Amino acid sequence: MGNPVADKFSADDFARYRSKRLEAGISANAINREHAYLRAMFNELKRLNHWNSENPLSEIRSFKIVEKELTFLANDQIKLLFAALSESSNPDTLLVSQICLATGARWSEAEGLKPTQLRQGAIEYAVTKSGKNRTIPISAELETELQQLAKDGRARLFVNCYSAFREAVDRSGLALPAGQLTHVLRHTFASHFMMNGGNILTLQRVLGHSDLKMTMRYAHLSPEHLQEVRNLNPLARLTLG
């Protein structure tokens, strides 16, 4: 945008800027975030009485985002992935993946675990993307493995193993959508949680979503999702009559 002076900045300036960003291949989602940050900046300046005019971005609509399909792994695919991970030159890769599948953690959260985050049968995720701490119960078997690593006195339980995970996925032959490499583990946790009868509000807390709309992407996988439609639609009621 050329560092415009704030009181000279207009909605037209931002509209031209985001058009250029789109042409440069920047995603609409990323541009919406920039829009939100700039709009929030002017709102904050106004709250602090440093800005007396209207927010120049208040009337600009964000781009409508078409929701992408979230890929998750079926049980046989998980076994296939684990077989490839067990052959990895980095022994931490398999356990980090298991943590993601067991707790719905992001890869960075699981990979960066410290011994101090182990809490009597649970893992506490701190300094998260949402800014909220989450404490997630884990199985006794997984806790034993992690406590064994913690006894070594290391500052972090694992070394970086993202690249080793990518190599394992390639070896397994699994085809994953762009941008969903390690995130497929989080999607797999959430999807299986709902398919196995989990509660959507519990899932929201486990994933750390501040907005329930984010979690609702998984609601349709619940075996009870919209089942009332079978009995409460007019055709069914007419048949019953």
Average pLDDT for consecutive 10-residue bins of the chain (241 residues)?
81 90 87 91 90 88 74 95 95 96 95 94 84 90 94 90 96 89 95 93 93 89 81 73 52
pLDDT of residue 107: 96
Catalytic residue among 18, 35, 187, 209: 209
Whether residue 110 is found in the same domain as residue 31:
no
Catalytic residue among 18, 35, 134, 186: 186
Whether residue 96 is found in the same domain as residue 188:
yes
Whether residue 59 is found in the same domain as residue 98:
no
Whether residue 18 is found in the same domain as residue 116:
no
Whether residue 109 is found in the same domain as residue 41:
no
Which of 75, 86, 71 lies closest to 182, judged by CA?
71
Q: How far apart are CA 102 and CA 230, in angstroms?
A: 33
Whether residue 80 is found in the same domain as residue 168:
yes
Residue 186 designated active-site: yes
Q: How far apart are CA 220 and CA 191, in angstroms?
A: 9
> Is 230 within a domain?
no
Residue 106 designated active-site: yes
> Is 46 within a domain?
yes
Whether residue 102 is found in the same domain as residue 122:
yes
pLDDT of residue 101: 96
Query: Domain range for residue 79?
Result: 75-221
Domain count, the chain: 2
> Is 227 within a domain?
no
Catalytic residue among 16, 68, 119, 129: 129
CATH number, domain with residue 82: 1.10.443.10
Whether residue 54 is found in the same domain as residue 93:
no
Whether residue 53 is found in the same domain as residue 127:
no
Whether residue 194 is found in the same domain as residue 107:
yes
pLDDT of residue 199: 93
pLDDT of residue 239: 62
pLDDT of residue 183: 93
Q: What are the tokens at 113?
A: 């675990």
Whether residue 42 is found in the same domain as residue 105:
no
pLDDT of residue 204: 95
CB 102 within 8 A of CB 137: no
Catalytic residue among 18, 125, 187, 218: 218
Whether residue 80 is found in the same domain as residue 55:
no
Buried/exposed 76-103: b ≥16 CB within 10 Å, e otherwise: ebbebbeebbeebebebbbbbbbbbbbb
> Is 113 within a domain?
yes
Residue 218 designated active-site: yes
